[in-house]
Structure 1
């Protein structure tokens, strides 16, 4: 279960990095099109932080239950 949580948090980070790349690529040519990528980048970074904190709390709770 922990491996799946770790995988999903890095998946969000990958989406954020791809979105940031597309923002840089399209900024000068299609500024209206970059707003959706800005939204994806912000949401993905927020979800990465949320999932990371959730996983750490889950690991701590699991570790405390074993002891």
Structure 2
């Protein structure tokens, strides 16, 4: 289960992408930028959630 250490960073990449996309379309009339910002916030939350889960999983496997 070594891939859990690396998949959590995909959420950070997604957060950066959606934040940049929201800033690009901020001046337009539609409210699509709120959707992109919401996805970015959710991605940051998922990063910390997955990191905590991976640490718990790793600690559980270390105990004999």
Q: Distance in 1 between matches of 2:12 and 2:29?
A: 24
Unaligned runs of 5+ in 2: none
Q: Which residue of 1 aligns with 2:9?
A: 10
Q: Which residue of 1 aligns with 2:40?
A: 41
Structure 1 segments (4+ residues) deviating >2 Å: none
User: When the two structures are superposed, what TM-score results if normalisation uses the length of structure 1?
Assistant: 0.84
Query: Would you tell me which structure has more helix in proportion to its own residues?
Result: 1
Between the two proteins, the alignment pairs up a number of residues equal to 64
Counterparts in 2 of 1:59 and 1:22: CA distance versus 1, 3 Å: same
In the TM superposition, residue 35 of structure 1 has moved relative to its aligned partner by 1.4
Cα-Cα RMSD: 1.3
Q: Distance in 2 between matches of 1:5 and 1:30?
A: 40
Task: Indicate the SS of the match to 1:17.
Answer: helix
User: When the two structures are superposed, what TM-score results if normalisation uses the length of structure 2?
Assistant: 0.87
